[in-house]
């Protein structure tokens, strides 16, 4: 289908964009890469009266500063995929980027757009949960930083006010010995994940300091299985500990039976991926 | 909204509704019908064109977003009556059957070769993984893109079968 009619605005600055959102409020949607919004508009599941195109406003740097990795909201998936910084220091992100959608979509899709779209089958949100990241939202009223767990509220629902734009994603810099990965099961490239898991592990003197887990496609929003994470905090990184974490993560998941698999199958994949991901993360953390 | 896009090297203008998809602008306004509309769900890549040199799915972009930017369609591959090496290679290697996915495959192929002139099978398959072919099983598409890479590295004198039959 074709999208319904809308008024198109292409502001020359972030300030102008914020004023447009302040003016049009919840009749407006922000257009970044459009790789989630336009398909939804073509299905007429969304029919905003105003689109504010921020695609040319820059906001795409990827750099470390002040103890965190600062990623501009308009950083394209392809840029994150090719980033040497991510490959060297943020392995969970480096593992996830090439698995998002397909290479052509990755030329346009943005990390900010993905997080704001808040599809529980979206990949970046799980990564950000595992890494305890935050997002910076700006409006004419000011700026605020929200923890990702606070930002993601429900299916396609975030804590953003209608006049706010996400400008930056902040990821804490890794502690000494850490590692991580993103494991994604999909029927084919470009399909949504059947199940995916973002795993982060940091060690302190050989024991687990923190485990971060973010799960894709198993709940009404990207899921952080806190019981599984809690079971690992301060524990010895053994196969048994990982098996228990996998079991707890699967228990915390509530996937639906659909064309991609039964709920039981998906829970099983959660278990396998959490165990496998933790083993890989441990190898990396020990090598660090 | 009045927009101007450089299409295959020449400025083209149109007055469009903001909701007009780039694929429809290219096909219906500019009458460049080599770009195809396949799936309506951003899955198949038959609509792939190059935007400032990068493959994008033109069914998932509004024409207004391409204002003052450069678009290359399959029609832009032909230069002065000479087939582009990628076109010659697709012909030589039988990289198509029905041809519906072919424009997109060739454009993605040229973009890949610009970055990686001698891609492995794996690298080609990865690059085209956003596009679907129902006919060929992809083998000859991969061979064609690799052959084009070899031809382009060898230089213009070596390119076989490059003249359009009249």
Q: Using the CB atoms, write b or e for B126-149: b if 16+ within 10 Å.
A: bbbbbbbbeebebebbbbbbbbbb
Domain for residue B80, yes or no?
no
Tokens 């949504």, located at residue: A192
Dihedrals φ, ψ of A220, to 5°?
-75, -10
| Model confidence band, residue B160 (pLDDT cutoffs 50, 70, 90) | very low
The verdict on B67 and B6 lying in the same domain is: yes
pLDDT for the residue B166: 37
> Across the interface, do B65 and A5 touch by the CB < 8 Å criterion?
no
Residue A29 makes CB contacts below 8 A (sequence gap 6+) with A37, A46, A48, A50, A51, A52
For domain A62-172, give the CATH number.
Answer: 3.30.465.10
The verdict on B54 and B102 lying in the same domain is: no
Residue A229 has pLDDT above 80, yes or no: yes
| All structural domains of chain A with their residue ranges | 7-53, 62-172, 177-287
For residue B118, count other CB atoms closer than 10 A to its CB: 11
User: CATH number, domain at B66?
Assistant: 3.10.20.30
Domain for residue B79, yes or no?
no
Mutual angle of helices B85-92 and B102-115, in 10-degree steps: 120
Chain B: give the shortest CA distance to residue A48, in Å: 11
The verdict on B134 and B70 lying in the same domain is: no
Q: How many angstroms separate the Cα of B146 from the Cα of each of B72, B75, B93, B106? A: 21, 21, 10, 11
Last residue of some domain: B74, B104, B136? Answer: B74
Residues of B whose CB is below 8 A from A1:
40
> Across the interface, do A10 and B64 touch by the CB < 8 Å criterion?
yes
Mean pLDDT, chain B, rounded, equals 94
Last residue of some domain: B27, B46, B74? Answer: B74
For residue B119, count other CB atoms closer than 10 A to its CB: 19
pLDDT for the residue B158: 47
- Domain limits for position B139: 85-158
Please state the CATH superfamily assignment of the domain spanning residues A177-287 in this structure. CO dehydrogenase flavoprotein, C-terminal domain (3.30.390.50)
For residue B120, count other CB atoms closer than 10 A to its CB: 11
Say yes or no: A139 contacts chain B, CB-CB below 8 A. Answer: no
The verdict on B58 and B97 lying in the same domain is: no
What is the mean predicted confidence (pLDDT) over B131-160?
Answer: 89
For residue range A126-148, what is the model confidence (pLDDT) as tens digits? Answer: 999 999 999 999 999 999 999 99
> Across the interface, do B45 and A102 touch by the CB < 8 Å criterion?
yes
| Model confidence band, residue A175 (pLDDT cutoffs 50, 70, 90) | confident
How far, in whole angstroms, is CA B50 from its chain's centroid? 7
- Of B19, B57, B67, nearest to A105 by CB-CB distance is B57
> Across the interface, do B62 and A38 touch by the CB < 8 Å criterion?
yes
For residue range B56-81, what is the model confidence (pLDDT) as tens digits? Answer: 999 999 999 999 999 999 999 998 99
Say yes or no: B58 contacts chain A, CB-CB below 8 A. Answer: no
> Across the interface, do B18 and A190 touch by the CB < 8 Å criterion?
no
What is the mean predicted confidence (pLDDT) over A70-91?
Answer: 98
pLDDT for the residue B156: 61
Mean pLDDT, chain A, rounded, equals 97
For residue range B20-29, what is the model confidence (pLDDT) as tens digits? Answer: 999 999 999 9
Poorest-pLDDT segment among A102-116, B42-56, B144-158: B144-158
| Model confidence band, residue A286 (pLDDT cutoffs 50, 70, 90) | very high
The verdict on B36 and B67 lying in the same domain is: yes
For residue range A151-167, what is the model confidence (pLDDT) as tens digits? Answer: 999 999 999 999 999 99
Residue A103 makes CB contacts below 8 A (sequence gap 6+) with A78, B55, B126, B127, B129, B130
Residue B157 has pLDDT above 90, yes or no: no
Say yes or no: B4 contacts chain A, CB-CB below 8 A. Answer: no
What is the mean predicted confidence (pLDDT) over A273-285?
Answer: 98
User: CATH number, domain at B108?
Assistant: 1.10.150.120
| Model confidence band, residue B159 (pLDDT cutoffs 50, 70, 90) | very low
**Number of folded domains that form chain B:** 2
Q: What is the rounded distance in angstroms from the CA atom of residue A168 to the CA atom of residue A146?
A: 11
Sheet holding A195-204, edge to edge: A177-185, A195-204, A207-216
How far, in whole angstroms, is CA A54 from its chain's centroid? 20
Domain for residue B27, yes or no?
yes
Strands A157-158 and A152-154: antiparallel
pLDDT for the residue A120: 98
In DSSP terms, A211 is beta-bridged to: A201
What is the mean predicted confidence (pLDDT) over A16-37?
Answer: 97
In DSSP terms, A136 is beta-bridged to: A145, A168
Q: Which of B17, B25, B57, B133 should we substitute to test contact with A (largest number of A Cβ atoms within 10 Å)?
A: B57
| H helix intervals, chain B | 22-24, 85-92, 102-115, 121-127, 139-154
With a pLDDT cut of 90, the percent of chain B lying above it is 90
| Model confidence band, residue A1 (pLDDT cutoffs 50, 70, 90) | confident
Q: Using the CB atoms, write b or e for A1-30: b if 16+ within 10 Å.
A: eebeebebbbbeeeeebbbbbbebeeebbb
**Half-sphere exposure of A32 toward its Cβ, with a 13 Å CA cutoff?**
27
Poorest-pLDDT segment among A151-160, A254-263, B113-122, B156-165: B156-165
Residue A91 has pLDDT above 90, yes or no: yes
Longest dimension (CA), chain A: 60
Q: Which of B4, B62, B115 should we substitute to test contact with A (largest number of A Cβ atoms within 10 Å)?
A: B62
Residues of B whose CB is below 8 A from A2:
19, 21
With a pLDDT cut of 70, the percent of chain A lying above it is 100
Compute the radius of gyration of chain A from its Cα atoms.
19
CATH architecture of A7-53: 2-Layer Sandwich (3.30)
The verdict on B95 and B55 lying in the same domain is: no
Say yes or no: B53 contacts chain A, CB-CB below 8 A. Answer: no
Residue B163 has pLDDT above 70, yes or no: no
The verdict on B110 and B149 lying in the same domain is: yes
For residue range A95-117, what is the model confidence (pLDDT) as tens digits? Answer: 999 999 999 999 999 999 999 99
In DSSP terms, A138 is beta-bridged to: A143, A165
What is the mean predicted confidence (pLDDT) over B87-113?
Answer: 98
């Amino acid at each position: 289908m074709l999208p319904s009619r809308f008024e198109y605005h292409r502001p020359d600055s972030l300030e102008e964009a914020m004023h447009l959102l302040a003016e049009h409020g919840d009749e407006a949607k922000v257009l970044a890469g459009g790789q989630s919004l336009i398909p939804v508009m073509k299905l007429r599941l969304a029919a905003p009266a105003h689109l504010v195109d921020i695609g040319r406003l820059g906001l795409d740097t990827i750099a470390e500063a002040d103890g965190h990795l600062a990623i501009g909201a308009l950083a394209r998936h392809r840029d994150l995929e090719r980033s040497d910084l991510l490959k060297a220091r943020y392995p969970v992100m480096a593992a996830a980027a090439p698995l998002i959608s397909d290479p052509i979509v990755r030329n346009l899709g943005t990390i900010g757009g993905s997080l704001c779209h808040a599809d529980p089958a979206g990949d970046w949100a799980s990564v950000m949960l595992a890494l305890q990241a935050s997002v910076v939202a700006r409006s004419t009223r000011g700026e605020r930083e929200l923890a990702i767990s606070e930002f993601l509220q429900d299916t396609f629902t975030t804590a953003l006010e209608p006049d706010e734009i996400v400008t930056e994603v902040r990821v804490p810099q890794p502690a000494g010995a850490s590692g991580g990965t993103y494991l994604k099961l999909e029927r084919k490239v470009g399909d949504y994940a059947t199940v995916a898991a973002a795993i982060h592990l940091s060690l302190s003197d050989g024991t687990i300091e923190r485990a971060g887990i973010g799960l894709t496609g198993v709940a009404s929003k990207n899921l952080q299985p806190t019981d599984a994470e809690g079971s690992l905090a301060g524990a010895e990184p053994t196969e048994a500990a990982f098996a228990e974490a996998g079991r707890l993560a699967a228990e915390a998941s509530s996937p639906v039976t659909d064309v991609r698999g039964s709920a039981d199958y998906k829970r099983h994949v959660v278990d396998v991926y959490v165990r496998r991901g933790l083993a890989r993360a441990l190898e990396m953390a020990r090598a660090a | 909204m009045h927009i101007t896009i450089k299409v295959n090297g020449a400025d083209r203008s149109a007055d469009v509704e903001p909701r007009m998809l780039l694929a429809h602008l290219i096909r219906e306004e500019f009458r460049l019908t080599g770009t195809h509309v396949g799936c309506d769900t951003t899955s198949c890549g038959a609509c792939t064109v190059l935007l400032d040199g990068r493959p994008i799915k033109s069914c998932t972009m509004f024409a207004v977003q391409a204002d003052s930017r450069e678009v290359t369609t399959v029609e832009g591959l032909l230069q002065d009556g000479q087939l582009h090496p990628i076109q010659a290679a697709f012909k030589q290697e039988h990289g198509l059957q029905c041809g519906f996915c072919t424009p997109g495959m060739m454009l993605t192929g040229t973009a890949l070769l610009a970055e990686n002139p001698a891609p492995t099978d794996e690298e080609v398959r990865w690059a085209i993984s956003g596009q679907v072919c129902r006919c060929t099983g992809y083998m000859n598409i991969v061979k064609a893109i690799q052959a084009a890479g070899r031809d382009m590295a060898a230089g213009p004198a070596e390119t076989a079968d490059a003249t359009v039959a009249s």
